[in-house]
Structure formats: C-alpha cells, structure tokens
Amino acid sequence: MLLRCRVPLATFDLDVDVSFDARVTAIFGPSGSGKTTLLDAIAGLREIAAGEIEVGGKTLFSSARKINLPPQRRNLGYVPQEGALFPHLSVRRNILFGSERNSRVTDAKMMSIEHVLEVLEISHLLQRSVTELSGGEAQRVALARAILSRPQLLLLDEPLAALDVGLKEKILPYLARVRDEFGVPMIYVTHNITEVLALADWVLVIRSGRLMAQGLPAETLTSSRALRAIPEEELENVFTVEFIDSDKPAGRSRVRLSSGAEIFVPYLPVSAGRTLQVRVRADDILLGTQRPEGISAGNILPGTVRAIDIVDDQALVRVDAREIFCVRLTAGAVIRLALRVGSSVFLIIKTRSFRIL
C-alpha cells in the first residue's frame, strides 16, 4: 500500500509518506496524534490537501492526477470505534447489509455468512435488536458486517477503545481469528501496545501528524524513536504459547514459548496443546546480574542483553532469554548494574505478572 498525504489540522499538519505490505498494519500513537484522520483519509471521509493513496495497485486518491474516488467506490470495510450499527435493524439485517453492498464472489467458503458467524461466534444473536447487545457483541456484529462487504482492505478505528479491560481480552482473540481466517488485509488504529503486539505484522508510529518509526512491532515499539509515543504503563511483551499442564493447588499453569522455553502463568483450566497468548508489562520484570535464591517469583530466566536504549531518565533493555523480552528500568539501574550489550542477566517474573489474552 502507498500512503502519501497531507491533511491540515487545527494544531498541526498530518504529513505522512510511507508504503507497506502486511496482513495487519497497526497505526499506533497517543490520542490526538492524527491516527483516525489518516484512516478517514484512506476511506475517503477526509479532504486531503495533497498526496496519493494506492491499495492493491488501485489508486484511490491522487492530487496530481485529479483522482478522488468516493467512499462507496473504494471497496473498503470500515469499523469505527463505536461500531455504528443501524439501531432500527436487527442483528441479522445489519449483517446482511454488508453482503448486499457487494455481491461479488471472492471465495464462497471463506466469505460465506455462515463461516463469518461461526468465526465470530454470533449466530445466537441474529434475532436480537442491536440495542440489546453488549459492547463486545456490537463490535463483533460490526466486524461481521464489514467482512461480508468483501473489502480489499479492512479499516478498524480503535475497535476496543470503548470496552473495559476484561472485554478487550475477550475480543482480541476474535480479531486474531479474522486475521487468520479471511485473508483480508487490515489497517488497525490503536493507542494500545498490547493490541499491536497481539495482532499486527507491521506498525507505523505516529505522533503529532508525523511518522516517528515503522517496522516489526516487537522491535519498533522498543526503539528510542518510538519510546516517547508509548505511555509508561502500556509497554508490554506479548507471546504466543502452548499450554502444557496445570497445578490447581499451586494456582499456576505451565506453558511453552515458541522457542521451547517454559514459563509459569496463572492457573488455566484448559486442555494440553492449546495455543494461547500471554502478556507481561515491561515494568513488571526484574533484572539481576546473578541468579537469585529463596524468592517467591516463579520464573527465573537466564538471558543476554541485546540492546539498551536510554531516553531521559528511563531505559529499555532488550534481553534474549530464548525469546526477546523488553524490560523497562531507570537509567540509574543500568549504570548501577553496569549493563552493556552482551551482559549475562537473569529475568525475574512473578507468575501472576503474566496475563492471558
């Protein structure tokens, strides 16, 4: 995708010039940075002063060539933050509205209504009024409607922002299933780093209308250029793991990371072999230069420091413990521990510091 546009805003100009090709591209940054404006520009909902937008070889906008396709001709699916369901229609009619908009056949099996309902687990909601839906249910219905319009690109504008933490963690797996099942490229706007790490293959970091950084999420979001755009409490590590077994009396489960390393997470009543995602905040990981003894933390992982980025009074330390962990320390701690690239260290992580997605 080619995305080159300049949009004057009240306090700054959104000015982005970038190209990328990924299943899910996240547009990440703090509130008010221009993320939604950029999404609206792609959708044809925002006037662009100059630039060019191209999706899948099709030009949607070009100021030089006087091209500006209206939204209905761009063949894009848009899921806004609040879902924007039609309140006078049932769930069924809302969902069918998507398929009626675009009757072209791409893959009858992958894009059938039945398959979409199955993936999003909303078949039981069809007869309900949309006013009777919970926030998470409404977002899944809006997503189904967008998918069934058979778009060449799916645009999602902070679809989880209005949900509480518990609902967010329940809806994230549905978004991952959409990514894996339907093969429709997505652009996903968010200011939540967990959502980026859980879903995206590529990330654009936006701040005050400018592209600060782009690249693979795990690397880009721990770079010094992106650090200022990440709220302190939100810097996290997200891993895909395989469930091994549980010890209910001990209140913990054992899971295997993709590298083969094993860790303990809070108790899970699930069957062996199931794939899950877990997360841990960068501030919830302690780092030592010697293996600790006689402590309560369930996870002690040996590793090697691969990178250290210091910005102002904080430091991001990337540690290779068969998986890359990002640890946030004070700049003083880096000096006190004499950390440098190549240092041998131990990661100390409480079992309960891991959260299940």
CATH 3.40.50.300 matches 2-229: yes
Residues in Cβ contact with 160 at an 8 Å cutoff, skipping those fewer than 6 apart: 139, 167, 168, 171, 172, 190, 192, 195
pLDDT confidence of 68, banded at 50, 70, 90? very high
When mean pLDDT is compared across 98-107, 185-194, 258-267, 312-321, the lowest value belongs to 98-107
Within the chain, which residue ranges are assigned CATH 3.40.50.300? Answer: 2-229
Count of CB atoms within 10 A of residue 79's CB? 23
Within the chain, which residue ranges are assigned CATH 2.40.50.100? Answer: 236-356
Do residues 41 and 7 make contact, with C-beta atoms less than 8 angstroms apart? yes
What was the pLDDT predicted at 105?
43
Do residues 189 and 33 make contact, with C-beta atoms less than 8 angstroms apart? no
pLDDT confidence of 276, banded at 50, 70, 90? confident
Three-class SS state of 156:
strand
What was the pLDDT predicted at 108?
41
State the fold for domain 236-356. Answer: OB fold (Dihydrolipoamide Acetyltransferase, E2P) (2.40.50)
| pTM above threshold 0.85 | no
**Strand 210-215 relative to strand 153-157: parallel, antiparallel, unpaired?**
unpaired
Give per-residue pLDDT as tens, 296-324: 999 999 999 999 988 888 888 999 999 99
Residue 177 pLDDT exceeds 90: no
